[in-house]
Amino acid sequence: MTKISFSSLCTHELDDNRTTKPHVLPIYATSSFDFQNLQEGIDIFTGEKKGHVYSRYGNPTIDTVAKKIAALENYGLSGEAQAFLCSTGMAAIHTALLAVAKSGDKILTQGNLYGGTTELFNKVFSQLGIEPIFTNLQSIASVKEALTQHPDIRLMYCETPANPTLACIDLQALGNICKENNLISIIDNTFATPYLQQPLSHGIDIIIHSTTKYLNGHGNSISGAIVCKNEELSKTIWNTLKLTGGTCNAFDAWLLNNGMKTLTLRMDKHCSNALTVAKRLESHTKVIKVNYPGLESHNSYEIASKQMRLYGGMMSFEVNGGMEAGKTVMNNLKFCTLAPTLGDVDSLILHPASMSHLKVPKELRLRNGITDGLIRLSVGIEDPEDIYSDIEAALENV
């Protein structure tokens, strides 16, 4: 280095001193990247050469983790998928929809979505002239009727299993309908993860994840992902993400990468614990109904068995006594954590009517089984006896 002043030496970066490849992905905590000369910068900006420019456009940590998620969703399938990491799951939903929908379009969707997604449709996209059409996506007849009544439907958005009723839809059937009607299909695959369910194999165009949940699994970062195989759609999504700026940061991507290393181990335990707790709650006298697709009594058991490897770690149950009974159970839990999230290694519990779905119109909520006494449980990987005993003790107060 040319001799410079002490203060300049303090300010400037020295050359990267790495000599061998790190075993664990590094955190590239940098906002921008240096060009060796002007021509290199021109080549990268014009697309003549691949390279990083600015971390909103891409970052080695973020890009590496996105590539892993794409590989997981596309595992065993032909061709390649592309993934993009966003700042949150909601940013992923917003970016994907903003990329593919325009004013005057309608979105065919279901009434039992995550409350935040319903709000996004009703309060943000409606102002852009993009209207949600809520129907029962479990009914092919209802889907076809909605498409006949609303010829300006341009895309379908779904969750399966749905939050919080765990209702499942037939991905292959809906994927086929979307292809026949030239609709773009989008699915939130957060509950299932690519380990349990691969929507791309059923012809779905775009996959959304709140990677905050099961993919990370440890409740220590927030991010979202968009996965797509269609090159044209991928370019549109990328341009929208780049310009709206809802991109992930390197540290959250790094935490996500660490979490994914134990995804299969965690999901196996989540699933086995959830089935154990669901079966026991099903026979409890103060529980009206248990929503878990692994129970033969659940209306989605056959569909889930067809398109999922296992049935997931999410469930919900309805307490006899409505709103007050639901609140009573919540206030008497000692082991399960009351928290408005899911997918962590410890068990998390939530009362949708007063929390996640508080701002969803009550009529829409009740029509889709999200009752005042419904409680959502993200079953952790603890000893299942501890989880059930806590809920059982809380139910004694109802």
- Dump pLDDT digits (tens) for 300-347: 999 999 999 999 999 999 999 999 999 999 999 999 999 999 999 999
Q: Which residues are catalytic?
A: 56, 114, 188, 213
What is the C-alpha separation between 387 and 186, in angstroms, rounded? 34
Structure confidence at residue 361 (pLDDT):
85
Token readout for 86 is 């966003």
**pLDDT over 90 at 202, yes or no:** yes
Question: pLDDT value at position 256?
Answer: 98
Lowest mean pLDDT among 53-57, 88-92, 253-257: 53-57
Distance CA 180, CA 238 (A): 26
- Of 4-18, 340-354, 368-382, the poorest mean pLDDT is in 4-18
Encoded tokens for 255: 């935490």
| Mean per-residue pLDDT, 278-295 | 97
With CA atoms as reference, report the closest residue to 175 among 213, 206, 209. Answer: 206
DSSP 215: T
Question: Where is pLDDT greater, at 16 or 392?
Answer: 392
pLDDT digits over 219-246, tens only? 999 999 999 999 999 999 999 999 999 9
Percent of the chain clearing pLDDT 70 (strictly above): 100
Counting DSSP H helices and E strands in the chain, the numbers are: 15, 12
- Provide CATH 3.40.640.10 ranges for the chain: 38-260
Angle (CA) 119 187 256, round 5°: 90
Specify whether the CB–CB gap between 382 and 347 falls below 8 A. Answer: yes
Residues 6+ apart with CB under 8 A from 10: none
DSSP 58: -
Range with lowest mean pLDDT among 2-16, 169-183, 249-263, 311-325: 2-16
Kindly tell me if the per-residue pLDDT of 1 is higher than 60.
no
| CATH fold for the domain made of 38-260 | Aspartate Aminotransferase; domain 2 (3.40.640)
Please give the Cα distance from 164 to 35 (Å, whole number): 49
Q: How far apart are CA 375 and CA 326, in angstroms?
A: 7
Task: Quote the mean pLDDT of the chain.
Answer: 95
Non-local CB neighbours of 63 within 8 Å, separated by 6+ positions: none
Tell me the per-residue pLDDT of 357-378, one tens digit each, with 9 for 90 and over.
888 888 888 888 899 999 999 9
Q: Is 229 helix (H, G, I), strand (E, B) or coil?
A: coil
Q: Which is nearest to 317 in space by CA: 281, 273, 344? A: 281
Confidence category of residue 283, pLDDT binned at 50, 70, 90: very high
Q: 263-395 has which fold?
A: Aspartate Aminotransferase, domain 1 (3.90.1150)
- The conformation of residue 127, written as its DSSP 8-state character, comes to G
Q: Positive or negative CA dihedral for 316, 319, 323, 329? A: negative
Residue span(s) of the chain under CATH 3.90.1150.10 come to 263-395
